[in-house]
């Protein structure tokens, strides 16, 4: 069975600083994908970044980067130059190859302080 663990219920960061949100996963599958979603107070889940298990390079999307350490089964999200609008819940998720089911963690609430 797949499992996502996000150990930080809440994180605080000063505006313009970088922050790392932790995510570890458990799976016996060899091929899988890892995702990060942002959920602002409106409730809509917004896709941020994707990392395939066979990708050798860490994924980057603008201010978001994914620190993928396959041997440790971790997929931490790094947000650089935090902005007030980054305040939201952040969810890590995974999906095995051949499955359409996304498994989510419990999320981390990020608060960006001015």
Partner 1 sequence: GAGVSQTPSNKVTEKGKYVELRCDPISGHTALYWYRQSLGQGPEFLIYFQGTGAADDSGLPNDRFFAVRPEGSVSTLKIQRTERGDSAVYLCASSGTGFTGELFFGEGSRLTVL
Q: Which of residues 35-74 bind partner 1 (CB under 8 A)?
A: 35, 37, 42-47, 50, 52
Does residue 100 bind partner 1 (CB under 8 A)?
A: yes
Relative to beta strand 46-52, strand 32-39 is antiparallel
Question: What DSSP string describes 91-113?
Answer: EEEEEETT----EE---EEEEEE
Would you give the DSSP letter of residue 13?
A: E
Selected from 25, 33, 77, 110, the binder of partner 1 by CB under 8 A is 33
Closer Cβ to partner 1, 2 or 74, answer by number: 2
- Reduce the DSSP state of residue 54 to 3 states and report it: coil
Does residue 101 bind partner 1 (CB under 8 A)?
A: yes
Ramachandran angles phi, psi of 85, nearest 5°: -70, -5
Q: Which residues bind partner 1 (CB under 8 A)?
A: 4, 33, 35, 37, 42-47, 50, 52, 91, 93, 95, 99-107
């Amino acid at each position: 069975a797949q499992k996502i663990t996000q150990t930080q219920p809440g994180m605080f960061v000063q505006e313009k600083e970088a922050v790392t949100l932790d995510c570890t996963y458990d799976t016996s599958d060899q091929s899988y994908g890892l995702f990060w979603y942002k959920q602002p107070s409106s409730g809509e889940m917004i896709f941020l970044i994707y990392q395939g298990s066979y990708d050798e390079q860490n994924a980057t999307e603008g201010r978001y980067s994914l620190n993928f350490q396959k041997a440790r089964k971790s997929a931490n999200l790094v947000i650089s130059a935090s902005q007030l609008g980054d305040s939201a819940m952040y969810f890590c998720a995974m999906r095995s190859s051949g499955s359409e089911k996304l498994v989510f963690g419990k999320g981390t609430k990020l608060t960006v302080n001015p």
